[in-house]
A = this chain, B = another copy of it.
């Protein structure tokens, strides 16, 4: 056993931990690691949140293997952290109390495609791009697309969404069934392949968004969509973020079934031009996509063009060629990296909030004024059809004043969203970073109910402890 596995001060559970590490090493051989590099890769890496590595990382290949790991950890009171690919932003995969990271990297099989039922069964380590590759030949796709090529288990756990959510919903709407290893090590199945059910408590929806605090997802059944007969995409510049938001509100209200409607503020457009070799006018811009038949995408695009014009936007350029569309959406998905390049050497702090759409223009505009006042470079991108937007302040971590300024901005961002009837996170989740806002958002009774549920299912508090709620 490498010394690093148990380095540092002796903890109360050090004997129990040692037993678990040795047992996992015996049982999993080279599918278990306690090396510092591997452990650090399996903790938070993408933002300024401290990296808190687990004591060991194990790579199971089946639900039964996960159940065995969980039973072992449960018997010794050792914490566990489910791990997908580590693309979450809010410290979800950190191990503040140490313990075992359970990686689903080797559970990456597409188990069954049911094309007649428009559903698919996957292991949790399958990524969204991998799934869509596997589906393409059958004319099907899975619409949820966070920026990263995240794992589907992780996406379910953070209740992820992305650019298509305005039309196809979030993970909440697209997970039909789960297999979950509970904190006791028992294997539970939830939901089923019927499109709807009124049979009992909705355990599927309870696990989706639970960030691995109630169990380890080991299999998912997901709803699929047929690839639309026709797709068109386009770009529309606006004189201000307010104008772009107002056009979005009107688009949604008038029932236009947009598949994507994404805001990039002028800072993000500049970043995208530089990083993704685009040549857009550097002004607030909407990226859009329409799905349907040839006739209906044409009709949708024309109607959107009229709405944009009403709010001073345009010209609305739209294209139906796949390569043009792909370039556009790749640029949108690369916005995290494009933004980082705006301030070389800086760390970025990507975060998101979501407000009722009627407050979106006001919330984005106030946030931009706040950024300007605070002297922070932060592009804004938004899934504006849902009232959801992202800030990505770029921070010099070696400058305490810069860090303090950014922290204060982030607190105001969340408080502003909550004050407008919104939520501290539209799609990134709570992790470690946003636990402090849950009471303000949900109230004491709801937080107490979350704690009661956590304790009912995880009485030892060993399943991803220190995330969402403290118990």
Task: Report A's interface with B, CB cutoff 8 A.
Answer: 114-119, 158-161, 165, 169-170, 172-173, 182, 186-190, 192-203, 205-206, 208-210, 214, 225-226, 228-229, 249, 252-255, 257, 292-293, 295-296, 299, 354-358, 386-388, 417, 421-430, 434, 437-438, 441-443, 445-450, 452-457, 468-469
Q: How far is the CA of A26 from the CA of B95 in the complex (A)?
A: 56
Give the one of A254, A357, A437 with max B CB within 10 A: A357
Say whether A202 contacts B205, CB under 8 Å. Answer: yes
How many copies of this protein are present in the complex? 2
Bound CA–CA A457/B452 (angstroms): 7
Contact partner, A188, options B114, B118, B441, B449, Cβ 8 Å: B449
Find the B residue at minimum CB distance from A90. Answer: B198
Choice from B206, B257, B354 contacting A201 with Cβ under 8 Å: B206
Please tell me if the beta carbons of B196 and A170 are within 8 angstroms of each other in the complex: yes
- Taken together as a complex, chains A and B put the C-alpha atoms of A175 and B160 apart, in Å, by 19
Chain B's closest residue to A422 (CB) is B194
Q: Which residue of B lies closest to A250 (CB)?
A: B116
A196 to chain B, nearest CB (A): 5
Whether B196 lies near A388 (C-beta < 8 A) is yes
Cα distance A371–B152 when bound, in Å?
Answer: 43
Residues A427 and B198 in contact, CB atoms below 8 Å apart = yes
Contact of A428 among B116, B198, B292 (CB under 8 A): B198
Task: Give the residue of B115, B252, B299, B456 whose beta carbon is less than 8 angstroms from that of A296.
Answer: B299
CB distance from A194 to the nearest CB of B (A): 4
Instruction: Give 9 nearest A-B pairs by CB, closest first.
Output: A205-B205, A456-B456, A188-B445, A116-B358, A197-B423, A226-B255, A452-B456, A194-B354, A159-B198
Q: A196-B161, A209-B202 are in contact. Are A188 and B425 (CB under 8 A)?
A: no
Please give the distance in Å from A106's CB to the nearest CB on chain B.
24
Report the minimal beta-carbon distance from A180 to chain B, rounded to whole angstroms: 9
Q: Is the CB of A386 within 8 A of B195?
A: yes
Q: A189-B445, A299-B296, A422-B192 are in contact. Are A169 and B173 (CB under 8 A)?
A: yes
Looking at the assembled complex, report how far the CB atom of A471 sits from the nearest CB atom of chain B, in whole angstroms. 11
A441 to B257, CA, bound (A): 36
Asked if residues A445 and B299 are in contact (CB atoms below 8 Å), the reply is no
Cα(A114)–Cα(B252), bound, Å: 14
Contact check, A116 vs B197: say whether CB atoms are below 8 A apart.
Answer: no
Residues of B within 8 A of A437 (CB): 199
CB closest chain-B residue, reference A385 = B195
Measured between beta carbons, the chain B residues less than 8 angstroms from A117 are: 356-358
Distance to closest chain B CB from A237 (angstroms): 24
Cβ–Cβ contact B160 & A198, under 8 A: yes
A183, B343: Cα distance in complex, Å: 53
Q: Considering only CB atoms, which chain B residue lies closest to A442 in the complex? A: B200
Docked pose: A198 CA to B172 CA in angstroms: 9
B387 near A442: Cβ-Cβ < 8 Å:
no
| C-alpha gap A28/B205 in the complex (Å) | 38
Residues of B within 8 A of A442 (CB): 189-190, 199-200, 203
On whether the beta carbons of A443 and B209 are closer than 8 Å, the reply is no
A201-B206, A438-B200 known; A182 vs B445 contact (CB < 8 Å) = yes
CA gap between A197 and B425 in the complex, in Å: 6
On chain B, the residues within 8 Å of A170 by CB distance are 196
Q: With A202-B159, A205-B172, A226-B253 in contact, is A194–B423 under 8 Å at CB? A: yes
Which of B169, B206, B225, B253 is A202 in contact with, Cβ under 8 Å? B206
CB distance from A386 to the nearest CB of B (A): 5
Q: How far apart sit A453 and B205, CA to CA, in the bound complex (Å)? A: 14
